[in-house]
Amino acid sequence: MTESAITEKFWELPFSDLSYHEWELLCDGCGRCCLKKLEDDDSGEVHYTRVICKYFVEQQPLHCSCYNERTVLVPQCLDVKKSDIASLSWMPDTCAYRLRQEEKPLFSWHPLISGSGAAMADAGISVNGKTVSEEFVYPDGYEEHIIRWVGA
């Protein structure tokens, strides 16, 4: 199977113009969307925690150990392509899909712009080394793990 051609600066194009491969390349692999979130019942505000999905694997390019079955094994896990991305205002404010949906440019550290993962690592965007697996935290204890380094 041959890989489809990639359009120059495809990350500046509308979603509708992207091939499947280009769409997948937009993801920076930060892992932030795999963190557990809490929603304030009154304000609706979303708070990220450092508790992460048990299928998340650090140091792997894909991060997810069940990628093809993820929405089956983890009902809360999103297939972003199939979702109404306009309604995903709780996605991390650094997420490439959210940025492009809001017609904002990618950050200079994004691997597509910087050319490697080094700038992203320097900017502290990846969750690697900063999380605790959901296997070790009771769901009613998530509040103790709320973080400020990911915003919605």
Looking at the Cβ atoms of 2 and 68, the one nearer to ligand SF4 is: 68
Residue 22 found at the interface with ligand SF4 (CB under 6 A): no
Pick from 11, 38, 46, 70 the residue near ligand SF4 by CB under 6 A.
70
DSSP string across the chain: -PPPP--TTGGGS-GGG--HHHHHHH-----GGGEEEEE-TTT--EEEEEEE-TTB-TT-SS-BTTGGGHHHH-TT---GGGS-GGG-TTS-TT-HHHHHHTTPPPPTTSHHHHSSSHHHHHTT-S-TTS-EEGGGS-GGGGGGGB-SSS--
The answer to whether 96 contacts ligand SF4 (rule: CB under 6 A) is yes
Q: Which residues pair with 22 in a beta bridge?
A: none
Choice between 43 and 76, CB closer to ligand SF4:
76
- Cα atoms in the Cβ-side hemisphere of radius 13 Å centred on 148: 0
Of the pair 146, 152, the CB lying nearest ligand SF4 is at: 152
In the region spanning residues 71 to 90, those forming contacts with ligand SF4, defined by CB under 6 A, are 74, 77, 80
Q: What is the footprint of ligand SF4 within residues 34-53 (CB under 6 A)?
A: 34, 53
Q: From the CB of 145, what's the least distance to ligand SF4, in Å?
A: 16
Q: How far is the CB of 3 from ligand SF4 (least distance, A)?
A: 20
Give the shortest CB-130-to-ligand SF4 separation in angstroms: 14
Tell me the site size for ligand SF4, rule CB under 6 A.
21
Which residues have a Cβ under 8 Å from the Cβ of 118 and sit 6 or more positions away? none
**Site residues, ligand SF4 (CB under 6 A):** 27-34, 53, 55-56, 64, 66, 70, 74, 77, 80, 92, 95-97
